[in-house]
Amino acid sequence: MSSSDKSVQLAAGASAGPTAVGGGAVAVAAPPRAVRAKRKRRKGIGWPARLEIALMTGPTLLVFVSFVILPVAVAAFYGFFSWQGYGPPQDFVGFRNYVLIFQDATFIDALQHNAVIVVLSLVIQGPAAVLLALLLNRKMRGQTLIRVLVFVPYVISEVVVGTGWSLMLQGDGAVNALLGRLGLDWLRNDWLSDPGMAIWTLMGILTWKYIGFAVILFLAALQGIPDELTEAAAIDGASYWQIQRRVTLPLLGPTIRIWAFLSMIGALQLFDLVYIIWGQYVAATAGTSTMATYMVANGRIAGEYGYGNAVAVVLFLISLTAALVYQRFVLRRDTEGAITEART
């Protein structure tokens, strides 16, 4: 690569010569030529370029539109029908599916579980991840290894995590046995099926699985903070914690806000872990069902595809509203900054 770089530079250096000699019409040196080329590109593009654009974006657009945009449009359409999934939908029911959704206590429960999961994810994982990132940002031996190990649960599939944890958390599973051995019998619990406990179990597993992602994001941001800032604060007599609170945390702000956005959307869409650990029916009684598991149970498994699509639309609108509100009030200045930064 370095040799090709060099040849390009050589060519750029040499280009002034031939062009200047080149002829009366183009009797200008390199810089004006660049300007001219730019102007030409802006004015209009030739057929070869149009062909290139079509060839290189066409397949992407085709795949993207048919598997992302079309299904979402289709969902909005089918949501107005009572439809079992075969033949063209004919039984138009207007907004009845939507009315039914919001009259169904099971859905309202699921919605509440989602809300609890969103809030608890932010409240538990956020501060914990910031503290862990600060800890791992300190210079210590085995730093790289620790960072990698923290990230491991994030890399393992939800199915493996779900299968493993549900075996460990069974009434006669490893967690209760371990607590018994440590003499903590009063802590033994019906982790998965006790309705008062299950949502906390779920939060524990979610935190374990996803905190590594937050920690890595925050660590990356911490390393972007110039040492000079914290050093200056230290010279001014600030203690370690004062520096973290007054200097590091504000600079970590944009990353924390973007993480919170991703975490919020992820929590609203949560499906895999709940479905794997609690199955399609138990989730509702254990108090861990989410909008997505409700959608799958009452849509595809029940054979009511029209209804399932309506739930998908509701889930989408809720996520979209949350995303837009968050972007409007929290993220705006960050994205503005990111865009200007990316351009320079």
Partner 1 sequence: MATPAVAAHRPTRARRRLAWGSPSVYFVALLLIGVMLAPIVYIILGGFRTNAQITTDPAGWPKPWNVANYLDVLGGEVFWREVVNSTVVAGCTTAGVVALGLMTSFILARYRFRGRGAMYSLFAAGLMFPLTVAITPLYIVVRTIGLMNTLPGVILPQIAFAIPTTIIILVPFLRAIPDDIQEAASIDGCGRLGFFWRMVLPLSMPGVITVAILTFIASWNSYLLPLFILNREATFTLPLGVQAFASQYSVDTAKVLAFTSLSMVPALVFFSLFQRRIVGGLTGAVKG
CB of 72 to partner 1, least distance (A): 5
Instruction: Please identify, using beta-carbon distances, which residue of 198 and 205 lies nearer to partner 1.
Output: 205
Restricting to residues 264-293, which ones interact with partner 1 according to CB under 8 A?
A: 265, 269, 271-272, 276, 292
Site track 132-171 with partner 1 (rule: CB under 8 A), x = hit: x--xx-xxx-----xxxxxxxx-xxxxxxx-xxx-xx---
Instruction: Please identify, using beta-carbon distances, which residue of 144 and 195 lies nearer to partner 1.
Output: 144
Instruction: Please identify, using beta-carbon distances, which residue of 50 and 246 lies nearer to partner 1.
Output: 50
Restricting to residues 1-20, which ones interact with partner 1 according to CB under 8 A?
A: 1, 4, 7-9, 11-12, 15, 19
CB of 96 to partner 1, least distance (A): 18
CB of 63 to partner 1, least distance (A): 5
Restricting to residues 236-255, which ones interact with partner 1 according to CB under 8 A?
A: 240, 255
Considering only CA atoms, give the Rg of the chain.
Answer: 28
Q: Of 20-28, 47-55, 191-199, 281-289, which part binds partner 1 (CB under 8 A)? A: 47-55
CB of 239 to partner 1, least distance (A): 11
Restricting to residues 172-191, which ones interact with partner 1 according to CB under 8 A?
A: 172-178, 181
- As given in the structure block, the two tokens for residue 79 are 């949501």
Using alpha carbons, select from 246, 310, 257, 254 the residue that is nearest to residue 98: 310
Interface with partner 1, residue 61, by CB under 8 A: yes
Q: Out of 6, 38, 246, 332, name the contact with partner 1 by CB under 8 A.
A: 38
- For residue 66, the Cα-to-chain-centroid distance in whole angstroms is 23
In 3-state terms, what secondary structure has residue 92?
Answer: strand
In 3-state terms, what secondary structure has residue 344?
Answer: coil
Site track 308-327 with partner 1 (rule: CB under 8 A), x = hit: xx-xx--xx--xx--x----
CB of 187 to partner 1, least distance (A): 14
Q: How many residues bind partner 1 (CB under 8 A)?
A: 112
Restricting to residues 193-222, which ones interact with partner 1 according to CB under 8 A?
A: 208, 212, 216-217, 219-221
CB 272, CB 162: distance < 8 Å: yes
Distance CA(130)–CA(216), nearest Å, equals 10
Interface with partner 1, residue 26, by CB under 8 A: no
CB of 343 to partner 1, least distance (A): 8
Instruction: Please identify, using beta-carbon distances, which residue of 112 and 223 lies nearer to partner 1.
Output: 223
28 by Cβ neighbours in 10 Å (0-12 / 13-18 / 19+) ranks as middle
- As given in the structure block, the two tokens for residue 127 are 């501060």
Instruction: Please identify, using beta-carbon distances, which residue of 74 and 115 lies nearer to partner 1.
Output: 74
Query: How many CB atoms sit inside 10 A of residue 42's CB?
Result: 8
Distance CA(47)–CA(54), nearest Å, equals 10
Q: Out of 23, 24, 59, 88, name the contact with partner 1 by CB under 8 A.
A: 59
Instruction: Please identify, using beta-carbon distances, which residue of 105 and 342 lies nearer to partner 1.
Output: 342
- As given in the structure block, the two tokens for residue 102 are 């919001």
DSSP secondary structure letter of residue 209: H
Q: Out of 6, 22, 26, 64, name the contact with partner 1 by CB under 8 A.
A: 64
- As given in the structure block, the two tokens for residue 143 are 């730093």
Interface with partner 1, residue 302, by CB under 8 A: no
The structure tokens 């203690």 sit at 239
Phi-psi region of 237 (alpha: psi -120 to 50; beta: other; left: phi over 0): left
Q: Of 39-47, 92-100, 115-123, 242-250, which part binds partner 1 (CB under 8 A)? A: 39-47
User: Who's near 339: CB < 8 A, 6+ residues apart?
Assistant: none
DSSP secondary structure letter of residue 237: T
Distance CA(91)–CA(299), nearest Å, equals 16
Distance CA(244)–CA(131), nearest Å, equals 10
